Structure 1
Amino acid sequence: MESVRWAFRCGSWSPSCSEWLLAARCVQREEKDRIGQFVFAKDSKSAMAGRLLIRKLITEKMNIPWNEIHLERTPKGKPVLAKPVLHNISQKYNFNISHQGDYVVLAAEPGLQVGVDVMKTSRPGSSTTVDFFKIMKRQFTDHEWKVIKSAGSELKQLEMFYRHWTLKESFIKAIGTGVGFNLQRIEFHLSTKQMNVEEEKKDTKLLLDGEQEDNWVFEESCSAFSDPNPARFITLNFNDLVTSAIPLTEEDYEYWEHFQKKAESPSRQHTLVRD
């Protein structure tokens, strides 16, 4: 059994009618309905791709037929394979997905807890970087803020901020605690401060409640905006997502018509903060 790292570039996916209708047929009905409720096309595409990635993983790596997969959510909102099927699994993967910016990514590990988070480095859409940092101050320790603020230019500070943020998010997603976890309980120490494009680092250390945790490995990588292949991740296309798919429902042309009416994304970027 091997680690799985997959990425799908939603930012460059403009689904045709046949693609969107096929995708909608290949997810559970309640998932289809939830995806259809997103206001913007970008969010609908990301959610759809995420569900297809999970089902592809379960079919191809865990050998469960597509039409026998039933996904549910934990009380904290993490997608998991429904328990009634678990006793038939000879190869069990833990998995997690994340979507932001252009990408949806999936990470899966056999028999290990796993969390993944992806972020696009961008300037705050509704405030200055200084004000943005003030809002987010409670989410980081004094040590982490010192590292962020000492990174150099405003853009470098934002890059360091998002690096710390994705580390924290990936950890709490791995342990499945949800938004109620106090992020100041976890502190990251970066052995390598400079991340180069297409370079992978595994030397970051975690302190939990002041004690170093040696049982966790943090894989970090960054990619240029124009690079279609994020480091460490295999980039898939739409045909890859559905190559093992078995349609679950009948075709629903109104679903395509509804999707076509959505704006791609908000006209003005808004920054979502964790509180």
Structure 2
Amino acid sequence: MNGANGAFLTNAEPRKGDTTTSENASFCKNTFRWVVDIDQWHPIEEHEGREFQFLLNLIQQEDEREQVLKYYHFADKKRALVSRLMTRAACAKARGCKFEEVIIGRTKGRKPFFKNVHEVAARTTTTNNGGSSSISNGNATMTMMRDGGRIGIANAPNFNFNVSHEGKYVALVSEPYAICGVDVAAPDQLRLGNRSISAIEEIFETFDTTLHPKEKAQILKQNGLSSQLSRFRQIWSLKEAWSKCMGTGLGAKFASAEFTISQDVEAAVNANNDNDDDDKVKSTKQQNANVQIDDKKDFGGAWTATISVDGVNEIGQRDENWSFYLHPFPPLEDVYDIPDDETHWITVARGPTSCVVDAHGEFWKTLKAKNIESNEQKDTWTRDIWRRAPSFRMLRVADLVPEELRYRFQCLVKEEENCERVLESIAATAIVK
């Protein structure tokens, strides 16, 4: 978990007992799994208060700030603001650049990407030979050459990210090689208008053109309406993450994709130790011994899923270039526990670069290892797409503030809280009189 002063975003120290080789370590660089619980954030005076405005002004792009304020409900404003802060914090951390230098672009399908990743210069140390220099950003080491840094991010040639927010949580995922998508499915999202669902057939009728027949069969196999609705939410979240990965949004041909879900314990155990060579996978007991006690709190049960797309693979054959992980949130205490009706699902999709739908080609230009899944780097791709799923880390809003501004932000929040207490005290005195 992140420290009291936001140590998670700045801490560059390796974990105690980390036995990962440098070759395998390259597969975890800039693989972020972040989540913020907006129900735990209560800015005073809501969007008009100094705390919210301070954070809003960290976003340099005016159109992005306007989008945040267009939402009617304050909870939606919070989600929108936090998601935009997360994307910039992730890009700045990965590239080693300043927060305000990051420019976020969007494809025609509204998929966000690090637009100026090759133009913005990584902060570097001075070298004696005047050649390249490097700096550790706490997750990766970047190198900037004389040409102004147009080399992308070391160990993350296809650095990309995706965000989602619904219910209590805002989530961000990023990947160094695979294209990624994420979807947060809240427990109260399944309603038809203002009424609750009384039978699974109502779902089938409403989503008839988006569910694959075999997915309907999976849902019907569940015991009871609650379990059936939970399985539907999982499948729908998979479809959303898949479409967001590609950048097609709701334009994806959902009914052509068949998702098969497995409560795969292997993907859940020791999720943070996701860099072991598959040929040298350690036992669960041995892996646990190599991790600090505090780190074990980050583990969460991740279910897995596979995809088969009609017309792409043989019927029922999974596509080996895609992997999917479903994280119940908050994490289950035991991977065998059954999620309850209050469980959020954070679903992560990892897919090939060939899946990208980018009408204007701007996102495509940011990728440095195009078609990695089908060229001479096939081995690298195979190891990356099937590595274990990292677990999510809970962050506070303060952790998303640039380090050089964090103290100022914390002072502002403290002053706001003090003012609120004074006003409450005055109001209480007035009531007594």
Q: Which of 153, 174, 185 is residue 90 of structure 1 equivalent to?
A: 153
Q: Which of 95, 120, 141 is residue 212 of structure 2 equivalent to?
A: 141
User: 2:397: which partner in 1?
Assistant: 238
User: 2:308: which partner in 1?
Assistant: 207
Structure 1, unpaired ranges of 5+: 248-275
Return 15-24 or 99-108, whichever deviates more: 15-24
Give distance in 2, aligned partners of 1:222 and 1:88. Answer: 37
Q: Does the aligned pair in 2 maintain the 1:121–1:158 contact within 8 Å? A: no
Give distance in 2, aligned partners of 1:166 and 1:41. Answer: 24
Q: Deviations over 1:187-208 (max 9, x none)?
A: 11123399x9941123x21101
User: 2:79: which partner in 1?
Assistant: 46
Give distance in 2, aligned partners of 1:10 and 1:149. Answer: 34
Q: Deviations over 1:23-79 (max 9, x none)?
A: 111112211111111111111110100000000001112212112111121111111
Q: Secondary structure at the match of 1:32?
A: helix
Q: Does the aligned pair in 1 maintain the 2:186–2:343 contact within 8 Å? A: no
Return 236-245 or 50-59, whichever deviates more: 236-245
| Compared CA separation, residues 246 and 79, structure 1 to 2 (3 A) | farther
**Deviation above 6 Å: which 4+ runs of structure 1?**
none
The AA in structure 2 aligned to 1:4 is F
1:246 Cα deviation from its structure 2 partner: 6.5
Q: Does the aligned pair in 2 maintain the 1:66–1:244 contact within 8 Å? A: no
The AA in structure 2 aligned to 1:89 is G
The AA in structure 2 aligned to 1:26 is L
Give distance in 2, aligned partners of 1:4 and 1:147. Answer: 31
Alignment root-mean-square deviation, CA: 2.8
| Compared CA separation, residues 193 and 233, structure 1 to 2 (3 A) | closer
Q: Deviations over 1:217-270 (max 9, x none)?
A: 11111124599xx992111101101134779xxxxxxxxxxxxxxxxxxxxxxx
Q: Does the aligned pair in 2 maintain the 1:198–1:221 contact within 8 Å? A: yes
**Does residue 19 in structure 1 map to residue 51 in structure 2?**
yes
**Superposition map of 1:70-85 within 5 A:** 70-83=103-116, 85=119
Structure 2, unpaired ranges of 5+: 1-28, 121-149, 269-298, 331-341, 348-389, 407-433
| Compared CA separation, residues 209 and 238, structure 1 to 2 (3 A) | same
TM-score, normalisation: structure 2 = 0.52
Q: Secondary structure at the match of 1:15?
A: coil
1:108 Cα deviation from its structure 2 partner: 0.3
**Does residue 124 in structure 1 map to residue 226 in structure 2?**
no
| Compared CA separation, residues 40 and 102, structure 1 to 2 (3 A) | same
Q: Deviations over 1:167-188 (max 9, x none)?
A: 1111111111222111011111
Q: Which of 156, 165, 170 is residue 227 of structure 2 equivalent to?
A: 156
| Compared CA separation, residues 124 and 13, structure 1 to 2 (3 A) | same
**Does residue 221 in structure 1 map to residue 327 in structure 2?**
yes
Q: Which of 15, 22, 37 is residue 9 of structure 1 equivalent to?
A: 37
Return 76-85 or 107-116, whichever deviates more: 76-85
**Does residue 63 in structure 1 map to residue 93 in structure 2?**
no
The structure with the larger Rg is 2
